A = this chain, B = another copy of it.
Amino acid sequence: MMNFELTREYIDSLRELIEAKNETAISEILEGLHPADIAEVYEELSIDEAKYLYFLMDDDTAADVITELEEDDRKRFLESLPSEVIAKRFIDKMDSDDAADVLGELDDERQLEVLSHIEDVSTAGDIADLLNYDEDTAGGLMAKELIKVKETWGIPTCLRSMRRQAEEIDEIYYVYVVDNDGILKGTLSLKRMLLSPVDVLVKDIYNSDVISVRVDVDAEDVSNIMDKYDLVALPVVDSLGRLVGRITIDDVVDVMREEAEKDYQLASGITEDVEASDSVWQHTRARIPWLLIGMFGGILGSRVVSGFIDVLDEHPQLAFFMGLIAAMGGNVGIQSSAIVVQSLASGSTSLDSTWKKLMKELGISLLNATLLTILIFTYNRVVGADLALTMTVSAAMFSVVVFANLFGTFVPLLLNRLKIDPAVATGPFVTTLNDIIGMFLYLTIGTLFFSMIG
């Protein structure tokens, strides 16, 4: 099977088949598709068309497709179905982590209703358990399905038990080893089992160097740990060290992608998770908050400028470079903030103190500021601008670049200490502040130079 490509023609012909209720042809098409592809197809269909498709799929495929859907589409679809169908056709066929994620999107009453329709009590219990964890923690990411063996077992007992346990889960990455109290002791690699003689005990061959996290560890830390140690699965323990679940890399990839997207969107002034395919209204709602902040900043800026009406009235040429100085403040500030935000997000351990970081930024900013100031000074002399304007622009350039650099470094570090997402600093808030401060510095310096030289 090669990669699937969704086209307008494909959807149109599928719609015609649905219209004609051609079950044989549709079933054939569905069988050739991966659930992730069916989810993409679904997003182009109406609820009724989608429902028709669902009842032609086998239960496992239907459950996988539900898991792969975008949250909004899934919610809309599930709302149109009775609780019993959701329980038996979907939730019961999913891994416990996916089941909890999907259930968590429904309201509390509906959650209970669905859970009451799940026949196996231990499955329902596992899911209800997972619903208690905050979704941004290890507990919220983990699944209950895992293969564990006791350290006192021999290989034949292990294999028998693993066969039984394996029926319930999709892929085996690690076999976990626990003691009689359920405390995680280590892992047993499949490779090691393949290569070992049959008469050894688990405790003779297991690997005790296992990296685990507690249920309450932050999702971002989980993703940094799995990335740093190149892990495919990570066991989760409770406060007593008992094995309670495992997190697989595919869930963490989603966390990483979402984190990266969130930082990127904040830097671009978008406040909610929004995608190109969302509605006009969702887009407006995600974009307007920062625009309003930008506008209030701009109005504040206009008050600052109006304070300099006299010098502007006398020397209107001061207006020429206001935009340049404001923009440079914004650009420089975003650069410094972004570097801090990235180093905080990647959890990269730098031993430098805040003071040392600021000193380093001072070095960078002095270099950049000197270069830019020489250039703008030269430009002004070449085009023959008057001396007062040249001096104003040059001095303002130097001080704005240095100030914005330090400010851009300091703000995200401060936010981080206050437990606020430092990525906010790269958004229009700090840019706007830098704009205003830049204009204030420029006009103040201008007033000074024009009163001296002009």
- Which of A73-81, A85-93, A163-171 contacts its partner? A163-171
Q: Is A414 an interface residue, CB under 8 A from the partner? A: no
Q: Is A358 an interface residue, CB under 8 A from the partner? A: no
Q: Is the CB of A290 within 8 A of B331?
A: yes
Query: Which A residues, 384 to 424, have Cβ-Cβ distances below 8 Å to chain B?
Result: 401
Q: Is A348 an interface residue, CB under 8 A from the partner? A: yes
Q: Which residue of B228, B277, B306, B372 is within 8 Å of A291 (Cβ)?
A: B372
Q: Which residue of B166, B191, B256, B298 is within 8 Å of A323 (Cβ)?
A: B298
Q: Is A219 an interface residue, CB under 8 A from the partner? A: no
Query: Which A residues, 251 to 277, have Cβ-Cβ distances below 8 Å to chain B?
Result: 253-254, 256-257, 260-261, 263-265, 267-270, 274-277
Indicate the size class of the contact surface on chain A: 35 or more
Q: Is the CB of B379 within 8 A of A299?
A: yes
Q: Is A339 an interface residue, CB under 8 A from the partner? A: yes
Q: Which residues on the B side are within 8 Å of A321 (C-beta)?
A: 298, 302
Q: Is A439 an interface residue, CB under 8 A from the partner? A: yes
With known contacts A210-B1, A277-B348, A327-B294, A287–B163 Cβ distance under 8 A: no
Q: Which residues on the B side are within 8 Å of A371 (C-beta)?
A: 288
With known contacts A250-B232, A260-B260, A342-B261, A324–B351 Cβ distance under 8 A: no
Query: Which A residues, 405 to 454, have Cβ-Cβ distances below 8 Å to chain B?
Result: 426, 428, 431-432, 435-436, 439
Q: Which residues on the B side are within 8 Å of A295 (C-beta)?
A: 324, 328, 372, 375-376
Q: Is the CB of A249 within 8 A of B253?
A: yes
With known contacts A276-B348, A299-B324, A191–B172 Cβ distance under 8 A: yes
Q: Is A367 an interface residue, CB under 8 A from the partner? A: yes
Q: Which residues on the B side are within 8 Å of A253 (C-beta)?
A: 227, 249, 253, 256
- In whole angstroms, what is the CA distance A320 to B190 when docked? 71
Q: Is the CB of B276 within 8 A of A357?
A: yes
- In whole angstroms, what is the CA distance A284 to B364 when docked? 6
Q: Which residues on the B side are within 8 Å of A281 (C-beta)?
A: 367
Q: Which residues on the B side are within 8 Å of A301 (C-beta)?
A: 323-324, 327
Q: Is the CB of B270 within 8 A of A339?
A: yes
Q: Is the CB of B368 within 8 A of A288?
A: yes
- In whole angstroms, what is the CA distance A379 to B40 when docked? 46
Q: Is A13 an interface residue, CB under 8 A from the partner? A: no
With known contacts A288-B371, A295-B376, A268–B435 Cβ distance under 8 A: no
Q: Which residues on the B side are within 8 Å of A309 (C-beta)?
A: 316-317
Residue of B nearest to A67 (CB): B230
Q: Is the CB of A287 within 8 A of B256?
A: no
- In whole angstroms, what is the CA distance A274 to B44 when docked? 41
Q: Which residue of B173, B261, B313 is within 8 Å of A232 (Cβ)?
A: B173
Q: What are the 5 A-B residue pairs with the smallest beta carbon separation, nearest first?
A: A298-B324, A268-B338, A260-B260, A276-B343, A302-B320
26 CB contacts below 8 A, A to B, read: A2-B212, A3-B213, A3-B225, A8-B351, A11-B351, A34-B209, A170-B191, A232-B250, A249-B250, A253-B256, A257-B346, A264-B338, A267-B338, A276-B340, A276-B342, A276-B352, A277-B352, A295-B328, A299-B376, A302-B324, A309-B316, A312-B316, A318-B319, A322-B323, A330-B330, A331-B428
